[in-house]
Protein backbone atom coordinates (compact mmCIF):
# COMPACT_ATOMS: atom_id res chain seq x y z
CA UNK A 1 0.00 0.00 0.00
CA UNK A 2 2.90 2.37 0.68
CA UNK A 3 4.14 2.02 -2.91
CA UNK A 4 0.72 3.05 -4.20
CA UNK A 5 0.80 6.19 -2.04
CA UNK A 6 4.26 7.10 -3.35
CA UNK A 7 3.14 6.46 -6.93
CA UNK A 8 0.27 8.92 -6.43
CA UNK A 9 2.50 11.57 -4.85
CA UNK A 10 4.93 11.74 -7.78
CA UNK A 11 2.40 13.09 -10.35
CA UNK A 12 0.97 15.41 -7.69
CA UNK A 13 4.40 16.94 -7.04
CA UNK A 14 5.02 17.13 -10.78
CA UNK A 15 1.74 18.99 -11.36
CA UNK A 16 2.43 21.24 -8.37
CA UNK A 17 5.79 22.27 -9.83
CA UNK A 18 4.11 23.15 -13.13
CA UNK A 19 1.48 25.30 -11.39
CA UNK A 20 4.19 26.96 -9.27
CA UNK A 21 6.17 27.80 -12.42
CA UNK A 22 3.04 29.33 -13.94
CA UNK A 23 2.45 31.50 -10.85
CA UNK A 24 6.12 32.52 -10.66
CA UNK A 25 6.08 33.56 -14.31
CA UNK A 26 3.37 36.15 -13.59
CA UNK A 27 4.44 36.81 -9.98
CA UNK A 28 0.89 36.24 -8.80
CA UNK A 29 -1.14 33.58 -7.08
CA UNK A 30 -2.52 31.14 -9.67
CA UNK A 31 -6.08 31.69 -8.42
CA UNK A 32 -5.79 35.31 -9.65
CA UNK A 33 -4.74 34.27 -13.14
CA UNK A 34 -7.18 33.50 -15.93
CA UNK A 35 -7.50 32.19 -19.46
CA UNK A 36 -5.56 35.02 -21.06
CA UNK A 37 -2.65 34.38 -18.70
CA UNK A 38 -2.71 30.69 -19.60
CA UNK A 39 -2.59 31.54 -23.32
CA UNK A 40 0.32 33.94 -22.74
CA UNK A 41 2.12 31.29 -20.70
CA UNK A 42 1.56 28.72 -23.43
CA UNK A 43 3.10 31.11 -25.98
CA UNK A 44 6.01 31.78 -23.60
CA UNK A 45 6.69 28.04 -23.23
CA UNK A 46 6.85 27.65 -27.01
CA UNK A 47 8.71 30.80 -27.99
CA UNK A 48 11.03 31.66 -25.11
CA UNK A 49 11.59 28.30 -23.44
CA UNK A 50 11.49 26.39 -26.77
CA UNK A 51 9.62 23.45 -25.22
CA UNK A 52 8.29 20.60 -27.32
CA UNK A 53 4.53 20.22 -27.89
CA UNK A 54 4.50 17.29 -25.45
CA UNK A 55 6.10 19.36 -22.69
CA UNK A 56 3.68 22.24 -23.25
CA UNK A 57 0.80 19.76 -23.07
CA UNK A 58 2.13 18.53 -19.71
CA UNK A 59 2.08 22.09 -18.39
CA UNK A 60 -1.47 22.61 -19.68
CA UNK A 61 -2.66 19.34 -18.13
CA UNK A 62 -1.31 20.42 -14.76
CA UNK A 63 -3.02 23.81 -15.04
CA UNK A 64 -6.24 22.20 -16.22
CA UNK A 65 -6.24 19.83 -13.24
CA UNK A 66 -5.52 22.72 -10.86
CA UNK A 67 -8.29 24.95 -12.22
CA UNK A 68 -10.94 22.23 -12.45
CA UNK A 69 -10.20 20.16 -9.34
CA UNK A 70 -8.77 22.70 -6.91
CA UNK A 71 -10.34 26.01 -7.87
CA UNK A 72 -13.55 24.47 -9.28
CA UNK A 73 -13.35 26.81 -12.26
CA UNK A 74 -14.47 25.90 -15.78
CA UNK A 75 -11.86 25.02 -18.37
CA UNK A 76 -12.44 25.07 -22.09
CA UNK A 77 -10.16 23.27 -24.50
CA UNK A 78 -11.27 25.80 -27.13
CA UNK A 79 -9.69 28.61 -25.08
CA UNK A 80 -6.42 26.77 -24.54
CA UNK A 81 -6.02 24.09 -27.21
CA UNK A 82 -3.37 21.47 -26.72
CA UNK A 83 -0.53 21.73 -29.22
CA UNK A 84 -0.31 19.12 -31.93
CA UNK A 85 2.65 16.82 -31.80
CA UNK A 86 4.93 16.89 -34.77
CA UNK A 87 5.38 13.58 -36.50
CA UNK A 88 8.84 12.98 -37.84
CA UNK A 89 9.12 11.02 -41.02
CA UNK A 90 11.23 7.88 -40.82
CA UNK A 91 14.63 7.72 -42.49
CA UNK A 92 14.29 5.73 -45.68
CA UNK A 93 17.24 3.82 -47.05
CA UNK A 94 18.00 4.01 -50.75
CA UNK A 95 17.92 0.82 -52.82
CA UNK A 96 21.72 0.81 -52.85
CA UNK A 97 21.87 1.07 -49.03
CA UNK A 98 19.37 -1.77 -48.67
CA UNK A 99 21.43 -3.92 -51.06
CA UNK A 100 24.60 -3.17 -49.04
CA UNK A 101 22.81 -4.08 -45.81
CA UNK A 102 21.56 -7.38 -47.21
CA UNK A 103 24.96 -8.20 -48.74
CA UNK A 104 26.62 -7.55 -45.38
CA UNK A 105 24.58 -10.28 -43.68
CA UNK A 106 27.00 -12.80 -42.12
CA UNK A 107 24.98 -15.93 -43.03
CA UNK A 108 22.32 -16.92 -45.58
CA UNK A 109 19.86 -17.17 -42.67
CA UNK A 110 20.31 -13.49 -41.73
CA UNK A 111 20.27 -12.53 -45.40
CA UNK A 112 16.88 -14.24 -45.79
CA UNK A 113 15.55 -12.47 -42.69
CA UNK A 114 16.68 -9.06 -43.96
CA UNK A 115 15.21 -9.71 -47.41
CA UNK A 116 11.89 -10.78 -45.84
CA UNK A 117 11.77 -7.69 -43.61
CA UNK A 118 12.48 -5.42 -46.56
CA UNK A 119 9.94 -7.16 -48.82
CA UNK A 120 7.15 -6.95 -46.22
CA UNK A 121 7.81 -3.29 -45.41
CA UNK A 122 8.32 -3.86 -41.70
CA UNK A 123 9.19 -0.63 -39.86
CA UNK A 124 10.66 -0.05 -36.44
Condensed to tens digits (0 to 9), the pLDDT of residues 71-88 reads 898 888 777 787 877 777
pLDDT at 87: 78
Task: Answer whether 0.75 is exceeded by the pTM.
Answer: no
Separation of alpha carbons 105 and 89, rounded Å: 26
Instruction: Estimate the crossing angle of helix 53-65 against helix 35-47, to 10 degrees.
Output: 160
Alpha helices in 1-124 (DSSP H): 2-26, 35-47, 53-65, 95-103, 108-120
Q: pLDDT (tens digit, 9 = 90+) per residue, 9-56? A: 667 888 999 999 999 999 999 989 988 999 999 999 999 999 999 899
Amino acid sequence: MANFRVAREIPTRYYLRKVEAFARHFRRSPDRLGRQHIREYQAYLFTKRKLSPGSVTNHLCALRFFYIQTLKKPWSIADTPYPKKTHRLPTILSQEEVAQLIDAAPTPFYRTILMTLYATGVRN
